[in-house]
Chain A
């Protein structure tokens, strides 16, 4: 993607993001959050606190909108958490309070075997699903074609963790890979159906978190269990997909780049340069500003440096590496688009 050399006419945020997914020239690098940028201060600003903002579509949309209106990102992303589908599937939930994330009680799994897997016929009518769909509709109405709306549909590996428990699911993958594949094949219907419903609601792109994370799952595992299924999602969910996997993932970025997904949302445990090298321009990269240290506590100067590191490596879309901590200072988030704009101005002045 040629960003710094050729002047491109001004784009809307939405155009900029969708063009960057195709690795085509953009007027400036888009700032994108495939995951949450909600903070407790932004919740106060718009009167949309957790946990309500995960369950009430108006509040969900209002809080998501601040990603663009207050932070200056080119995207809005209303699906802050990773639990909407799991709640709809019947997992035991801990909704928490304003200052913490809702979680699935994975020590109380709902499935033990492949035969236990039941996807309710009316899954898409569950309130924690319709909340997301309605929020996307509200955001589309508010922003029209100006801003890219990013939804989220969880991958089957993540849903497997939620519904079987992490340890049980991983042990199954070692003891009985065939059964694990059967499970993934059954669960993938949730990913596809919820993804398609979000397209109908007005989403421009979807984050697809599938937590085959570097700490527990190897690159070889990714190739064996998930690569083909992720490739299938590209056909089944016809919209730019952003795969999200936390942790050190350079060992599987080559496989991920072969899936046909539009983008990979990568973690700060991978350097921008080595990641760009690994994907070889076959997929766009989104990231990878560090959350727990840089955005949370290091201040705008360090944020700026990480933004520049990504821009200089050629990363196509800049944003935090994952859902940001809820106490992140607003000034650090606002520094991301500011640093991107100023870097491009500097590049232009050199020409």
Chain B
């Protein structure tokens, strides 16, 4: 009799958690009542593993503004009922970099941008539109707002609004301020996020000697 569990679709994995005995942490996805839910799971029987899983789960809930399923609290979802899978995957990998016990507080939607040399902000409106702005109006900050918008489109699968160069929205039409705050830094530095993804995808694949 096998010991693996039917946890649905594994969407992401942290293969070696440096904060907990190198255990692997998986992010799983399954639908309950037509709504995609997520679960953090490890197959490790390390003593510290349950506490670590609980911390990452709480980090996902707090830092992304997700909510636990009432009947199965280990599963959690976005309140809009949408999948937002790419954002969840990216945030999961980033949150696994936090040591257990780190303070968990949603991040602000404003961050200093070195290339713009000023703060960049992204603000949600009641119509579900997010607008990016810079604290100083310069050519550099205008370029960086464009880069930020493109970054959010890649990192969070957000959509541009009409022909605007500073507005975008989520596919669900809702507001996800916690997610936007959490991934603002990644949207500012989308190339490094993609490089990290590419490096991690190659690691763990066995190449024949001729390609090593």
- Mark A residues whose CB is within 8 Å of B: 36, 40-45, 47, 49, 69-70, 72, 81-82, 97-101, 103-104, 106, 158, 161-162, 166, 211, 213, 215-216, 246-247, 291-292, 296, 299, 322-323, 325-327, 329-331, 334
Contacts and interface: CB of A to CB of B under 8 A. Distances in A.
B209 A98 contact: no
Given A41-B13, A100-B204, A327-B15, A166 B2 contact: no
- Of A36, A98, A327, the most chain B CB neighbours within 10 A belong to A327
Interface string B22-52: 1110100000000000000011110000000
- Give me the 7 closest cross-chain CB pairs, A-B, nearest first: A326-B204, A99-B15, A44-B44, A161-B209, A45-B43, A44-B43, A329-B10
B28 to A, nearest CB: 9
A244 to B, nearest CB: 10
A41 B43 CA distance: 6
Contacts of A41: 4, 13, 24, 26, 43
Nearest to B203: A100
A44 B24 contact: yes
B203 A45 contact: no
B206 A213 contact: no
A36 B163 CA distance: 51
B9 A82 contact: no
B42 A158 contact: no
Nearest to A102: B206
B209 A158 contact: yes
B12 to A, nearest CB: 10
Contact of A211 (B22, B203, B208): B208
Nearest to A212: B210
B6 to A, nearest CB: 8
- Of A36, A44, A213, A215, the most chain B CB neighbours within 10 A belong to A44
B126 interface: no
B211 interface: yes
Given A98-B16, A326-B15, A47 B22 contact: no
A292 B211 CA distance: 14
B195 interface: no
B9 A101 contact: no
9 contacts: A44-B42, A45-B43, A69-B3, A70-B2, A158-B209, A161-B210, A216-B210, A299-B9, A331-B9
Contacts of A216: 210
A325 B204 contact: yes
Given A44-B44, A45-B4, A70-B4, 15 more contacts: A40-B15, A47-B45, A69-B3, A97-B16, A98-B15, A98-B16, A100-B204, A104-B209, A158-B209, A161-B209, A211-B209, A296-B201, A296-B205, A326-B204, A329-B10
- Of B15, B22, B211, the most chain A CB neighbours within 10 A belong to B15
Contact of A325 (B3, B9, B26, B205): B205
Nearest to A107: B212
A27 to B, nearest CB: 21
B209 A99 contact: no
Contact of A69 (B2, B15, B44, B209): B2
Contacts of A82: 206, 209
Contact of B22 (A49, A69, A330): A49
B208 A99 contact: no
A65 B212 CA distance: 28
Contacts of A44: 23-24, 42-45
A100 to B, nearest CB: 6
A74 to B, nearest CB: 15
A162 B212 CA distance: 11
Contacts of B208: 211, 213, 246-247
Contacts of B201: 296
A323 B209 CA distance: 13
B204 A101 contact: yes
Given A44-B24, A44-B43, A101 B15 contact: no
B38 to A, nearest CB: 15
Interface string B169-212: 00000000000000000000000000000000101111011111
B204 A99 contact: yes
Nearest to B200: A327
B15 A330 contact: no
